[in-house]
Homo-oligomer: A and B are copies of this chain.
Amino acid sequence: MPIYNKLIEIRTQPGINIHNITSHIKDFIAASTIQNGQVLVFSRHTTTALVINEDEVRLLEDIKVFLRKLAPESDRYLHNDLHLRVVPEDEPINAHSHLMAMMLTTSEVIPIMDGKLGLGTWQSVLFFELDGPRQRTVCLQISGN
């Protein structure tokens, strides 16, 4: 069975920011021969996440407020005691970002039917940066017939 891999590079902004990567996925499917199968979307980081939801600008702001309240940056976290860990000099203070990532997800699998990405009308594939700015990598893997 044919399997195609692609890496998407994303340059993110400071703090929490959300990137719609749906068109990258659609283009990759269109360039392949797969008519029936699935795409695996996988983020290679511990302070990012993938979410399938609506790309509406005001909702994305609500989401940021919600995540900041869910895991407040100002809370006391053991992971942030850098002096008690062996870390590089530029180690970020980011326990809250890890917690947000854990509560969302690292992988999504979406069906491909009749050569098209099987998302519903209002669904977009959103990449969440939770501790920017960084250079990030998302893996796409298409498989099928």
Residues on A facing B (Cβ under 8 Å): 1, 3, 5, 36-38, 40, 42-46, 51-54, 56, 58-59, 61-63, 66, 71, 77-79, 81, 84-85, 95, 98-99, 101-111, 113, 118-123, 137, 139, 141, 143-145
Contact residues of A: prevailing secondary structure: mixed
Which partner residue on chain B sits nearest A66 by CB separation? B99
Number of identical protomers: 3
The smallest C-beta distance from A76 to any residue of chain B, in angstroms, reads: 9
Closest residue of B by beta carbon distance from A44: B120
CA distance A36 to B110 in the complex (A): 19
Contact, CB under 8 Å: A38 / B36 = no
Known: A5-B36, A53-B98, A62-B98. 10 other contacts (CB 8 A): A3-B144, A5-B111, A38-B40, A44-B118, A45-B120, A63-B98, A63-B102, A66-B71, A113-B139, A118-B139
A105-B141 Cα distance, complex, nearest whole Å: 19
Across the two chains, which residue of chain B brings its CB closest to A113? B5
* Given known A-B contacts A3-B145, A143-B37, A59 and B107 have beta carbons under 8 A apart: no
